[in-house]
Amino acid sequence: MSEITITRTTKPGNLPDATKLGFGHCFADHMFVMDYEKGKGWHNSSIVPYDEFCMYPSAMVLHYGQAIFEGMKAFRTKNNEITLFRPQDYLSRFNRSAEILCIPQMDTKMVHEALKTLIQMDKAWVPDCFGTSLYIRPFVVATDPYVGVKVSDTYKLYIILSPSGAYYAKGFDPVSIKVEDKFVRAVHGGLGEAKTPANYAASLKAQVEAQKEGFTQVLWLDAVERKYIEEVGTMNIFFKINGELITPALNGSILGGITRRTVLELARHWGVKATERAISIDEVYEANAKGQLEEVFGSGTAAVISPVGELSWKGQKIVINNNQTGPFAQKLFDYVTGLQYGKVEDTFGWVETVAKL
Ligand SMILES: *Cc1c(COP(=O)(O)O)cnc(C)c1O
pLDDT at res. 5? 98
pLDDT at res. 179? 98
CA of 298 from ligand 1 middle (Å) equals 10
pLDDT at res. 346? 97
Please check whether residues 144 and 187 belong to one and the same domain.
no
Nearest CA owner, ligand 1 atom 6: 257
Strands (E), 233-326: 236-241, 244-247, 274-276, 293-300, 304-313, 316-319
Q: Which atom of ligand 1 is nearest to the CA of 192?
A: 13
CA of 232 from ligand 1 middle (Å) equals 10
Please check whether residues 138 and 264 belong to one and the same domain.
no
pLDDT at res. 171? 76
pLDDT in tens, 176-216: 999 999 999 999 999 999 999 999 999 999 999 999 999 99
Q: Which atom of ligand 1 is nearest to the CA of 235?
A: 10
Note whether residue 348 is domain-resident: no
Alpha carbon distances (Å) from 245 to 207, 241, 250, 263? 27, 6, 15, 10
- Among the candidates 109, 139, 166, a domain finishes at 166
CA of 73 from ligand 1 middle (Å) equals 13
pLDDT at res. 81? 97
CA of 105 from ligand 1 middle (Å) equals 20
CA of 340 from ligand 1 middle (Å) equals 18
Please check whether residues 50 and 69 belong to one and the same domain.
yes
When divided into structural domains, the chain yields a total of 2
CA of 260 from ligand 1 middle (Å) equals 8
Q: Residues enclosing ligand 1, CB less than 6 A?
A: 71, 195, 199, 231, 234-236, 255, 257-260, 299-301
Note whether residue 52 is domain-resident: yes
Please check whether residues 13 and 138 belong to one and the same domain.
yes
Q: Which atom of ligand 1 is nearest to the CA of 203?
A: 13
Please check whether residues 148 and 10 belong to one and the same domain.
yes
Note whether residue 55 is domain-resident: yes
> Low-confidence residues of the chain, pLDDT below 50?
none
pLDDT in tens, 247-292: 999 999 999 999 999 999 999 999 999 999 999 999 999 999 999 9
Q: Residue 342: left (phi > 0), alpha (psi -120 to 50), or beta?
A: left
pLDDT at res. 2? 67
pLDDT at res. 239? 98
Q: Determine the residue of 167, 195, 220, 229 to mutate for testing ligand 1's pocket, defined as the one with the most ligand atoms within 8 A of the Cβ atom.
A: 195
Please check whether residues 229 and 294 belong to one and the same domain.
yes
- Among the candidates 134, 166, 198, a domain finishes at 166
Nearest CA owner, ligand 1 atom 5: 257
> What are the residue ranges of helices labelled H in 130-220?
197-212
User: Measured between alpha carbons, how far is 20 from 348 in angstroms, rounded to an integer?
Assistant: 34
Q: Which CATH number belongs to the domain containing residue 289 in this structure? A: 3.20.10.10
CA of 96 from ligand 1 middle (Å) equals 14
pTM of model > 0.85? yes
Q: Which atom of ligand 1 is nearest to the CA of 93?
A: 7
pLDDT at res. 169? 75
**DSSP character for 124?**
G
Please check whether residues 151 and 262 belong to one and the same domain.
no
Helix (H, G, I), strand (E, B) or coil at 282: helix
The domain of 191 spans 175-325
Nearest CA owner, ligand 1 atom 14: 234
Please check whether residues 234 and 154 belong to one and the same domain.
no
CA of 93 from ligand 1 middle (Å) equals 11
- Name the phi and psi angles at 333, rounded to 5: -60, -45
Q: Which atom of ligand 1 is nearest to the CA of 261?
A: 8
Please check whether residues 148 and 279 belong to one and the same domain.
no
Q: Which CATH number belongs to the domain containing residue 139 in this structure? A: 3.30.470.10
Please check whether residues 162 and 185 belong to one and the same domain.
no
Strands (E), the chain: 5-6, 30-37, 41-49, 67-69, 72-76, 81-85, 133-142, 154-164, 175-180, 217-221, 229-232, 236-241, 244-247, 274-276, 293-300, 304-313, 316-319, 351-356
Nearest CA owner, ligand 1 atom 13: 234
Exposed, middle or buried by CB within 10 Å (0-12, 13-18, 19+), for 97?
A: buried
Note whether residue 143 is domain-resident: yes
Q: Which atom of ligand 1 is nearest to the CA of 185?
A: 13
CA of 248 from ligand 1 middle (Å) equals 14
Please check whether residues 147 and 207 belong to one and the same domain.
no
- Among the candidates 102, 131, 166, a domain finishes at 166
